[in-house]
Structure 1
Amino acid sequence: MIALWIAFALLLVPALWLLVLPLRRAGAVARALADDEASERTERQNVAVYRRRLASLEAARDRGEIDAARFDEDRLELERSLLDDTAASTRSPLKAPRAGRWLVPVTMVALVVASASWYRWEGAEGDLALYRLQQQVMADPEASLPRLLERLEAEAARQPDNPNVWRSLFPLYRDSGRLERADHALTRLLALEERSPWLLAELAQLRYFAAGRELTPNVQALVDEALAADPAQPTVLGMLGIEAFESADYETAIDRWRRAIAGMNDAESAEALRQGIRTAQRRLGQTPEAVEGPGLRVRVSLAPELAGRLGADTAVFVVARDAAGELPPLAVARTTLGALPATLTLDDGDAMAPKARLSQVDEARLVARVSASGQADPQPGDLLGRHAAVAVGEHDGDPVELIIDRIVE
């Protein structure tokens, strides 16, 4: 902040110099005015006019054009006119050049005080302090999330009416799982700013997940308020799509997710909803929407010696992983044991996370597991098949043979 106030002081210097400038010129102006008054050019001109007109009257009298009475009357009128002109040109005495100089320092002080007061009232001193705090934490080699939260919370105590402080705290609270504090930060934002649809949607979504994905009356009230202001609010539509999906209302979920995608600017969130749409389409028995990009065609089959161990409706998970095993599953497809042998296509539409997709790698390992429990995690008694890393390419190649031929111990 010291550098900022120094910059303000440097900007005020020219303004103060302009205020002093008239004083520097006051002496020269006073001398010029005094010389003008001393010269009495106006009075001399008025007297010269009077004399010319009087001479004209005398000449007219001498020629007999006017009589003595008329001459006296016109001369009296000229004399009155000269007196009037002389009286009108009388000036008040000039003041000394130093008169009123006390107003200049008073004006200078008023200018500085007014400028500083205006900035403290209308300026962004609090935001600058917040920015400086964030930069200091980022530059600190021992910086951590708790350290940043501690500094931001101290700043929130210092300037509780600055919405940018709460806007910075909210995502940190949310991403660290501190839902109650995230709720408080959003509530403060709503109190400090207008109840915008975006803030209402964020608060509704936060409370929806905090309530265990339950559309409570409080959440529903926030949803109704947000949709009343913006019927296409994407966060609310995405949340309502999740609610419909978990209620097995897949058609409604697809409709809401498509409307949410239309209003989204976040590519990762939009892709996550597209993945949800494809999953809902599979649940409805529909062909999922096509996805551009490389993928794998896999023909999954069960070894004859394992036939009959589990029921035909047992879930089968087909998973593609990166060769190094450093990323989450790149693609996951699901079918049933009774549908084997089956040829499946794995691509980015089967990704579990936007940042882990088949299109990111050149090779992928394949795992097929028949889950007796129906759970995604391996359990003893599950049937398993593996395939070494294969090249990820176009969908129209020959399928990779993946045989389920062992039992999980």
Structure 2
Amino acid sequence: MTLLWVAFGLLLVLALWLLVSPLRGARTLHAAQQDFEANDRTADQNVAIFRRRLASLEAALARGEIDQARFDEDRLDLERSLLEDTEATQRRPLKSPLSGRLAVPLVMVAVVIASVLWYQQQGAEGDLRLFTVQQEVRNNPERSLPMMIERLEQEAARQPDNPNVWSSLYPLYRDSGQGDEAIDALERLIELEGRHPALLGELAQIRFFVANRTLTDEVQALVDETLDKDPRQPLVLGMLGIHAFDEGRYEQAIEHWRRAIAGFDDPGSARALREGIAVAQRRLGVASDELETAQSRGPGIQVRVSLDAELRGLLDDDATVFVVARDMEGELPPLAVARTTLSELPLTVTLDDSHAMSDAARLSQVEEARLMVRVSTSGQATPQAGDLFGDRQGVAVGDTDGEPIDVVIDRVVE
């Protein structure tokens, strides 16, 4: 923290120097301006020009080139022009180079006060202090979990409105078996951050375990609120799977865990759930090869692809057919891709996570998908003119044992 304030001090000194620097050259600038105005001969030059033009007019009048009325009119224009030119050269007296100096200290004090107040309101001094405390404990040879908790509790008392303090305390309480303290820390974090599904899922889970894996009314209320905001919240689905497993409802446990796997970015958590599914499958007497297939697939879509009768014969039977599922917004890569040939149609295919092109985009991550079927004239995945095309919007992702979704190839790509 000392280095931070030293850096701030240096920046303020630089800012104050920039404020004061114009005053240092004020006297020199004042003398230069005064000398310029004292030696300015613009008015004399304007008078000389007026006299030359007036003499020219008088000569023209004497020669009879102009009459008296024209002479009077042109003389009036010259006099008016002279007045305008000489008026522009009149300047107000220069102020003293010392004027305004008293305002500079006031501005400097205002800059310092405003900078400090702004940083206290908008800066991250609390986060920096939190990071310093964590580093001090980690670098301490006698470091321990109770020591870290004690230091963070001191920070929580010092800055109770910093959500990062409570988000750091919560996992420490949880991992050390202090369930009630973990709940208090998480509830305080929710007060500060809002009732986000991820935080509500954490709270429901910790309350569930504190209650000896019991789905109490309070836990159920949190589950309902969380799933209403995010039906695929993995922590809540994993917890519901545990509760169903404890009660011997193995099929429901498997269903909850499969849905939870799709929402976990942590490979370790997904692996633990797959192990739980394996145990539940064994309790149900499912063979290991069937278990592996079920785990790899998860929720999906069963699609029945057919070709419109009017388009038959346009392409060869060995033309490649791509069956693709995409998210409704079109923001992700293809979620599932299956490939066949035109001669195989009509065909029923099941799209699921086993058809994913990458782990970052899987069919189980969405609730609805857009189905697109394309017969490629080139055999390439990139659409080209002459390809045959069909699609279906808003198809629900879920159980693949029901009636398949019909997609008819009925258009030609222009």
Quick check: TM above 0.5? Answer: yes
Tell me the matched-pair count: 291
Change (3 A) 1:69 1:285: closer
Deviation track 1:7-36 (CA, whole Å, cap 9, x = no partner) reads 111222322221122112212322222122
C-alpha separation in 2, matches of 1:18 and 1:6: 19
TM-score normalised to structure 1 length: 0.68
Where 2:25 maps in the other structure, the secondary structure is helix
The residue type equivalent to 1:253 in the other structure is A
Aligned twin of 1:121: 121
Deviation track 1:359-395 (CA, whole Å, cap 9, x = no partner) reads xxxxxxxxxxxxxxxxxxxxxxxxxxxxxxxxxxxxx
Aligned twin of 1:274: 274
The CA deviation at 1:73 is 4.6
Alignment of 1:209 onto 2:209: yes
C-alpha separation in 2, matches of 1:263 and 1:44: 88
- Map 1:300-315; keep pairs closer than 5 Å: none
TM-score normalised to structure 2 length: 0.67
Aligned twin of 2:255: 255
Aligned twin of 1:131: 131
- Map 1:4-403; keep pairs closer than 5 Å: 4-68=4-68, 70-288=70-288, 289-290=291-292
Deviates more, 1:41-50 or 1:244-253: 41-50
C-alpha separation in 1, matches of 2:62 and 2:203: 109
The residue type equivalent to 2:101 in the other structure is R
- Structure 1 alignment gaps of length 5 or more: 292-409
- Structure 2 alignment gaps of length 5 or more: 294-414
Deviation track 1:170-218 (CA, whole Å, cap 9, x = no partner) reads 1111111111111100110011111111110010001111112111111
C-alpha separation in 1, matches of 2:52 and 2:250: 111
Name the % identity: 64
The residue type equivalent to 1:99 in the other structure is S
Where 1:192 maps in the other structure, the secondary structure is helix
C-alpha separation in 2, matches of 1:3 and 1:69: 85
The CA deviation at 1:74 is 3.2
Where 1:212 maps in the other structure, the secondary structure is coil
Aligned twin of 1:304: none
The CA deviation at 1:70 is 4.2
The residue type equivalent to 1:162 in the other structure is N
C-alpha separation in 1, matches of 2:122 and 2:98: 37
C-alpha separation in 2, matches of 1:140 and 1:196: 35
C-alpha separation in 2, matches of 1:219 and 1:56: 106
Q: Which runs of 4+ in 1 moved over 2 A?
A: 39-42, 66-81, 288-291
Change (3 A) 1:143 1:42: same
Where 1:214 maps in the other structure, the secondary structure is coil
C-alpha separation in 1, matches of 2:73 and 2:152: 96
C-alpha separation in 2, matches of 1:232 and 1:42: 83
Provide the alpha-carbon RMSD of the alignment. 1.7
